[in-house]
Amino acid sequence: MLNLKKVLGAKPKEHVVSELATLYTTWGEALDADHVLEEHPDPQFARADYRVLNGRWQCAFVQSRHAPTGDLQAVVENAAAPASEAFDSEIVVPFSPEAPLSGVNRQLQPDELLWYRRTFTAPTLDGGKRLLLHFQAVDYACAVHVNGQMAGTHLGGYTPFAFDITDFLVPDANELAVCVADPSEFGGRLRGKQRFDRGDIWYTAQSGIWQTVWLETVPAVRVESVKIEVAGTDILTVGARLIGLEEGSDAFPPFQVEVFGDEDEPATTVERQPDSRTCAVALRVPEPHLWSPEDPYLYRMRITYGADVVESYCAFRQVEMRYDDAGAKRVFLNGKPLFIKGVLDQAYWSDGLMTAPSDDALVYDIEAMRACGFNLMRKHIKVESARWYYHCDRLGMLVLQDMVSGGAPEIQTWNWSYKPTLFKISWNHMRDDTPANQAKLGGGDAGYQEEWMRTCRETVELLANHPSIIGWSLMNEGWGQFNARAACAMVRKLDPTRVIDAVSGWYDQRCGDFYSVHNYFRDLVVWRDRRKHRAFFVSEFGGFTHRVDGHSALDEAYGYEPYDDIDEWRQAVRSLLAHMDSLEGKGLAGYVYTQVSDIEEETNGILTYDRRINKLSE
């Protein structure tokens, strides 16, 4: 039954234009701007010779007057670098200029360009070695210059990229410059929860470099990437893409994989002579130590190809959909039924926006949610830094990974919110494969659809080696939704080892492994799946709100059920979670509570926005 009182209480308000209070986390308060986020950026593909370039850079904002919906890759590629005196500000990378920790506190406008500049000394590249320049994420379009020469361009704000800059280097100080354009919602592309017009469930739009930048010295003959899969229960397959042959050689060097348990000696080793740029090996680990949330056991790996040595890790675990003894469809982990107790993780920070202020801050959120009894975090409409997934791997936090959404710049209030809230019947009666309906959902633009599919594919390939990720969540609440069945088929082919939540919220297209609903305003019961062979999953619910004075970014508060008294809020949240736990026996496969932390106007988090108070703790 629909609770109209709660619906009216959660109705989006006309946005009040208020300045956000500057709230610092304990990690942001202690930040050393010259040495930020120095840990290895990618523990699952780590070489010994690297250098992080985070810290103080120069920056300049330049009026461009380009159209936000135009070819932004061409805009940044053809932009002329400003005069040296224009670089009159400092910015702390990797924080976006909109984030307090950047030291800039200025929003990049859709018709502006943001230029970054710094110098670095190149390492000695003997023996034909090469130097790679890595960016974990830049929002949104960027062009990278080294010593005035174009090293490359990239489009898309959430996935990493790298350029070989060896041929652009000079013996002494080298200049690195990056030009960025970011239209946020005005570009009609992928942006997640970012909006210039922030408020309610939409947050401050950020721009520019927002994850780690780093240099890596590599052999010319090297491993480009690896894909790690568990076949059965004790067979590990490692596929690799390879670069280069030894100079003067007509044969590839040997490709070797070593897997280590608790001992220094490898538990198993295999070596193969490649005959092409791709190579795959299979290793058997007898009676492997299985990975689970209770026992997140990781095997260390060493991958060797000629002179190239890459340190990595892997885990043995199996995820599948099966019927339990009572006939309910649910997720099984290592052959045992898994009841998902999830929490929504939007991963915004009061001082860093989409960038955590430190590695310890990432760990804090994970451990805090474990302590609250959750076994899964749904990474919501964002691709996180590689280190967050690493910490989930080693700490045993399961992950349901969302894809980044976007589409038409206008909020489609009726079709995204009002209609599905008021009329549940609409959830199963709106196809997303017709141009008319795609337009209604903001997902009809061909360029957006191509970008979404490409980024979805890149996200799966990027994160597929992490054992903590047990599933992919594709479309959310109709935002920019289109062709969910085609997207589901693509992801299933890319990764048949995980489960898929194809449509989270409403506008189900009868695909994927879950009948996945968002239920903030109706009785929390188990609903019947019309297809009958999918698991029933409440992928969002709760959202009870309590604002804490001194730890909120705004005087205004938004949430789905407000509580002035913290004890009443705690009792309500705990009672709600206990009720959801009781539905396991009635066929519920799992749930995702909203949410990890407060964010700007939203005060429905378990943690305050500055992470200084855990509201659920006594």
124-134 mean pLDDT: 94
Number of domains in the chain: 3
Same structural domain, 388 and 472: yes
pLDDT recorded at residue 54? 97
Helix ranges restricted to H, 396-483 = 413, 419-422, 435-440, 446-463
pLDDT number for residue 13: 64
Q: Are residues 534 and 560 in the same domain?
A: yes
CA torsion 197-201-203-209 (nearest 10°) is: -120
pLDDT reported for residue 573: 98
Q: Is residue 325 part of a domain?
A: no
pLDDT digits (tens, 9 = 90+) for 372-386: 999 999 999 999 999
Q: What is the pLDDT of residue 18?
A: 78
Beta bridge partner(s), residue 470:
none
- At 225-242, the pLDDT tens digits run 999 998 777 899 999 999
Length of the chain, please? 618
* CATH classification of the domain holding 366: 3.20.20.80
Q: pLDDT tens for residues 504-549?
A: 999 999 999 999 999 999 999 999 887 678 999 999 999 999 999 9
Q: What percent of the chain has a predicted confidence (pLDDT) above 70?
A: 96
Question: What per-residue confidence (pLDDT) applies to 7?
Answer: 64
Q: d(Cα 3, Cα 196) in Å, to the nearest integer?
A: 32
Positive/negative CA dihedral, 504, 380, 473, 486: positive
Q: Tens digits of per-residue pLDDT, 61-72?
A: 999 988 888 899
Amino acid at 499: V
pTM of the model: 0.96
pLDDT > 80? residue 12: no
Query: What's 30-64 look like in SS3?
Result: CCCCCCCCCCCCCCCCECCCEEECCEEEEEEEEEC
Averaged pLDDT for residues 286-298: 96
pLDDT computed for residue 36 by the predictor: 86
Is the domain of 200 the same as that of 228? Answer: no
Are residues 270 and 140 both part of a single domain? no
Pair (299, 417) in one structural domain: no
Q: Residue 307: what pLDDT?
A: 94
On whether both 47 and 162 belong to a single domain, the answer is yes
Q: With cut-offs at 50, 70 and 90, classify the pLDDT of residue 11.
A: low
Position 9 confidence tier, pLDDT thresholds 50, 70, 90? low
CATH number of the domain at 102, please. Answer: 2.60.120.260
* Confidence band, pLDDT 50/70/90 cuts, at residue 8: low
CA distance 95 to 140: 14
pLDDT at residue 4 in the model? 63
167 belongs to a structural domain: yes
- Per-residue pLDDT tens for 413-465? 889 988 988 888 888 889 999 999 999 999 999 999 999 999 999 999 999 99
The DSSP line for 475-492 is EETTTT---HHHHHHHHH
Lowest-confidence pick of 65-74, 163-172, 221-230, 578-587: 65-74
Q: Which residues pair with residue 60 across a beta bridge?
A: 115
614 within a domain of the structure (yes/no): no
Return the pLDDT at 429: 86
Spatial separation of the C-alpha atoms in residues 318 and 232, rounded to whole Å: 8
Residue finishing a domain among 218, 239, 259? 218
Q: Do the domain assignments include residue 18?
A: no
Q: Is the pLDDT of residue 10 over 80?
A: no
Nearest to 461 by CA among 45, 39, 164: 45
| Domain membership of residue 286 as a residue range | 222-317
What's the pLDDT at 217? 98
- 439-448: per-residue pLDDT in tens? 999 999 999 9
Mean pLDDT computed over 359-365: 98
Q: Which residues is 62 bridged to in the sheet? A: 113
| Domain co-membership, 374 together with 471 | yes
Question: What's the rounded Cα separation, in Å, for the pair 383 and 372?
Answer: 24
Mean pLDDT computed over 93-120: 96
Examine the fold and report which residue of 184, 218, 252 is the final residue of a domain before the chain moves on: 218
Q: Look-up: residue for tokens 């986020």?
A: 37
Claim to verify: residue 359 and residue 439 sit in the same structural domain? yes
Q: Locate 189 and state its tokens.
A: 């592309």
Same domain, 551 and 435: yes
Specify if 583 maps to a domain.
yes
In this structure, are 384 and 462 located in the same domain? yes
pLDDT at residue 263 in the model? 85
**What's the rounded mean pLDDT across residues 21-48?**
93
467 and 317 Cβ atoms separated by less than 8 Å: yes
Is-contact 405 480, C-beta < 8 A?
yes
Q: What is the pLDDT of residues 48-103, one digit of tens each?
A: 999 999 999 999 999 998 888 889 999 999 999 999 999 999 999 999 999 999 99
**Section 297-319 average pLDDT:** 96
In angstroms, the CA 123 to CA 118 distance is 16
Q: Give the model's pLDDT for residue 377.
A: 98
What tokens were used for 513? 């492994």
Query: Are 431 and 526 part of one and the same domain?
Result: yes
- 24 in a domain, yes or no? no
pLDDT value of position 200:
87
Q: Are residues 79 and 119 in the same domain?
A: yes
DSSP symbol at 187: G
In this structure, is residue 327 part of a structural domain? no
Q: What's the CATH code of the domain at 246? A: 2.60.40.10
Residue 59 lies inside a defined structural domain of this protein: yes
Lowest mean pLDDT among 10-24, 152-166, 332-346, 524-538: 10-24
The mean pLDDT of the chain is 94
